[in-house]
Amino acid sequence: MAQFEPKKNELEQDHVQLLFIAAEKRHGFWHPENFFVKHPSAFPFLLDEDRAVTKAYGLYQRLGTDAINIARTATLVVDRAGMLRYIYRGDSQQDRASMDDVMAAALSTAGK
């Protein structure tokens, strides 16, 4: 999340909206409410407590070598019509899409 904070103005200028989603209970193991008090985000954040969003995008992982009952790390770019234009599914909880790839996908979806 923090890597996107410096890109906030660029994203807003290009009419790109960013949203973070975590398959986590509000009062779960990682205590997301406490985290956001200490580390506020410039972007909206959804806690997918019942894993409905995670499951809808095929990202739910019941059991893995480094995860139990959680989402795979993923980055999705969805256009204004709700069409999925880019998806990166991580192979592990540390595997993330490159910032350059995400920015390129987001800007191309915005028509830039």
**What percent of the chain has a predicted confidence (pLDDT) above 90?**
12
Residues 49-88: tens digit of each pLDDT:
998 998 998 888 877 776 676 778 889 898 888 888 899 9
- Report CA dihedral (81, 45, 41, 1) to the nearest 10 degrees: -80
Cβ atoms of 54 and 23 within 8 Å: the answer is yes
CA distance 103 to 68: 30
Cβ atoms of 57 and 63 within 8 Å: the answer is no
CATH number at 2-109:
3.40.30.10
